[in-house]
C-alpha cells in the first residue's frame, strides 16, 4: 500500500476534541487539525485544486512556472503540487511573514521574493503587484491568484466540508474558521449549509482588517485598515472567495489573545499549531461561552503547524518584547 506521490496524502485530517481550553464551556468542541496535510497546512487542499483546474483550462502547460503572492502556506502547497507535476515556482511574500516560512519555501526548491508589507495593495511594491508583474514578464507562467480564484473555495466544498460532515455524523451545529482569502470558510459553509441550513458559521477576523465591518454595514471602511501581527487572516481587500452570505458572523481577535491561546493549545492540548489557530479558538470560545448549548457540536478549523512560529509566539523573548508575557 503506497501513495504515488506526496500530494495524494492531502486531506482526511483528524477531528480532535478540545479538553482543556474548553473547560466550563457547554457543548462538544472539536478541532479540525490541518497540519496533518503534507505541507502542514490547510492550503495544500486548494493549491493542488488550483493547479489541476489550471491544467484542465490550458492555463498551465508542461515546463511552466507557477507565480503566487502567498503568506507561505499556499506557497508550500503549490510547491508540493509543482514537484509532483514538474513545474517551477516563484513566491512573492510580504516582509511581515516569518523567516521560517521563507526558508521552508526555499527548502522545497522555490524562488522567494520578499516585498514590504506597509504599502497599499495597488502600490507597485506590494506583493500583490509584484506577483502580477512577474507573471506578465515570465513566459509560460501561471498566476493562480488565490484571493479571486474560485477553485480555492471549491476545494473546501469538495473535501473539507464533506469530511467535517462525515466525521461529526451530521451532528455539527457550528463551524468556525479564520478568514484570509475566505476559501476555507466559504467552501466548507456552502457544503454544510446544503446538508443542514441551520449550521451556524463564524468567521474569525483580526483588528486591522475590513471583513467584520463590511459584513455588518456593507461599507468598505479604510479606517479599519492598520498594521497587525497575526499571520494568515484578515485582509485589506475583499477577495472573490469571500461570500458574505455564507459567513453568519465575524468576530475580531487581537494579536495578543491569539498568541496566548496558541501557546495554551500546545501546552494543554498537545496541539503544536500556528498563530491563526489561536485566533480561531479564542474567538470561537468567546462565542461558545455565551451561545453554545450542551448538545451542540462546534468544529474549529486549525489551519497550520507551530514550526512556522517558533521565532514568534513560541519564543518567550519575542513575546516579552511585545509586552504579552510577564
**What residues act catalytically?**
43
Q: Closer to ligand PMP at the Cβ: 22 or 184?
A: 184
Give strand pairing partners of 69. Answer: 92
Phi/psi of residue 201, each to 5°? -115, 135
> Site residues for ligand PMP, window 27-46 (CB under 6 A)?
43
Name which of 64 and 282 has its Cβ closer to ligand PMP.
282
| Cα separation values, 210 from 98, 109, 207, Å | 23, 34, 9
Q: Which of 90, 276, 281, 298 binds ligand PMP (CB under 6 A)?
A: 276
Q: Which of 209, 248, 233 is nearest to 301 (CA)?
A: 233
Residue count, binding to ligand PMP (CB under 6 A): 17
Binding segment for ligand PMP among 9-17, 92-100, 165-173, 230-238 (CB under 6 A)?
230-238
Of 274, 278, 283, 306, the residue at the interface with ligand PMP (CB under 6 A) is 274
Binding residue for ligand PMP, selected from 233, 285, 298, 313, defined by CB under 6 A: 233
Does 303 contact ligand PMP by CB under 6 A?
Answer: yes
Q: What is the DSSP string of 33-93?
A: EGGGSTTSBTHHHHHHHHHHHHHHTTSS-TT-EEEEE-SSHHHHHHHHHHHHHT-EEEEEE
| Closer by beta carbon to ligand PMP, 28 or else 313 | 313
Of residues 167-206, which lie at the interface with ligand PMP (CB under 6 A)? 178-184
Nearest distance, CB of residue 124 and ligand PMP, angstroms: 23
The interface with ligand PMP within residues 60-89 (CB under 6 A) comprises 71, 73
* Contact residues for 185 (Cβ-Cβ < 8 A; gap 6+): 156, 175, 177, 178, 179, 201, 203, 246, 247, 301
Sequence-ordered list of residues with C-beta below 8 angstroms from that of 209, at least 6 positions apart, any chain: 224, 225, 228, 233, 234, 235, 236, 252
- From the list 3-11, 210-218, 225-233, 288-296, the region that binds ligand PMP by CB under 6 A is 225-233
**Min separation Cβ 302 and ligand PMP, Å:** 9
The least distance separating ligand PMP from the CB of residue 112, rounded to whole angstroms, comes to 16
Smallest Cα–Cα separation from 175: which of 162, 164, 159, 163?
A: 164
Q: How far is the CB of 204 from ligand PMP (least distance, A)?
A: 9
Q: How many CB atoms lie within 10 A of CB 213?
A: 17
- Give the residue with the Cβ less far from ligand PMP, 165 or 309: 309
Minimum CB separation of residue 62 from ligand PMP in Å reads 29
b/e burial code for range 39-74 (CB count within 10 A of at least 16 → b): bbbbbbbbbbbbbbbbbeeeebeeebbbbbbbbbbb
Question: What count of other Cβ atoms lies within 10 Å of the Cβ of residue 267?
Answer: 12
Q: How far apart are CA 46 and CA 147, in angstroms?
A: 11
Closest residue (Cβ) to ligand PMP? 232
Question: Where does this chain touch ligand PMP (CB under 6 A) — which range of 80-88, 205-213, 229-237, 289-297?
Answer: 229-237
Given the complex with ligand PMP, which of 39 and 64 has the nearer CB atom? 39
How far, in Å, CA of 82 to CA of 75, rounded?
10
Instruction: Give the footprint of ligand PMP on this chain (CB under 6 A).
Output: 43, 71, 73, 178-184, 231-233, 274, 276, 303-304
Amino acid at each position: 500500500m503506497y501513495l504515488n506521490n506526496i500530494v495524494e496524502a492531502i486531506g482526511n485530517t483528524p477531528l480532535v476534541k478540545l479538553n482543556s481550553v474548553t473547560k466550563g464551556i457547554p457543548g462538544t468542541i472539536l478541532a479540525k487539525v490541518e497540519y496533518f496535510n503534507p505541507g502542514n497546512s490547510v492550503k495544500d487542499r486548494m493549491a493542488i485544486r488550483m493547479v489541476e483546474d489550471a491544467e484542465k483550462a490550458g492555463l498551465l502547460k508542461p515546463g511552466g512556472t507557477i507565480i503566487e503572492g502567498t503568506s507561505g502556506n499556499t506557497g508550500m502547497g503549490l510547491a508540493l503540487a509543482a514537484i509532483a507535476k514538474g513545474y517551477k515556482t516563484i513566491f512573492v511574500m510580504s516582509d511581515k511573514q516569518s523567516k521560517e516560512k521563507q526558508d521552508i519555501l526555499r527548502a522545497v526548491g522555490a524562488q522567494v521574493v520578499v516585498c514590504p508589507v506597509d504599502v497599499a495593495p495597488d502600490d507597485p511594491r506590494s506583493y500583490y503587484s509584484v506577483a502580477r508583474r512577474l507573471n506578465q514578464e515570465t513566459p509560460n507562467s501561471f498566476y493562480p491568484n488565490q484571493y479571486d480564484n474560485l477553485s480555492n473555495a471549491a476545494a473546501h466544498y469538495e473535501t473539507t466540508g464533506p469530511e467535517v460532515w462525515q466525521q461529526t455524523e451530521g451532528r455539527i451545529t457550528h463551524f468556525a474558521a479564520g478568514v484570509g482569502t475566505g476559501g476555507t470558510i466559504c467552501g466548507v459553509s456552502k457544503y454544510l449549509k446544503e446538508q443542514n441550513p441551520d449550521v451556524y458559521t463564524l468567521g474569525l477576523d483580526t483588528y486591522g482588517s475590513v471583513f467584520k465591518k463590511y459584513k455588518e454595514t456593507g461599507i468598505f471602511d479604510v479606517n479599519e485598515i492598520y498594521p497587525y501581527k497575526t499571520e494568515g487572516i484578515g485582509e485589506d481587500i475583499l477577495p472573490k472567495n469571500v461570500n458574505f452570505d455564507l459567513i453568519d458572523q465575524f468576530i475580531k481577535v487581537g494579536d495578543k489573545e491569539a498568541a496566548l491561546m496558541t501557546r495554551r493549545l500546545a501546552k494543554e492540548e498537545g496541539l503544536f499549531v500556528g498563530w491563526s489557530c489561536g485566533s480561531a479558538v479564542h474567538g470561537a470560545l468567546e462565542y461558545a461561552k455565551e451561545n453554545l448549548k450542551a448538545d451542540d457540536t462546534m468544529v474549529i478549523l486549525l489551519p497550520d503547524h507551530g514550526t512556522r512560529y517558533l521565532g514568534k509566539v513560541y519564543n518567550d523573548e519575542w513575546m516579552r518584547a511585545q509586552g504579552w508575557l510577564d
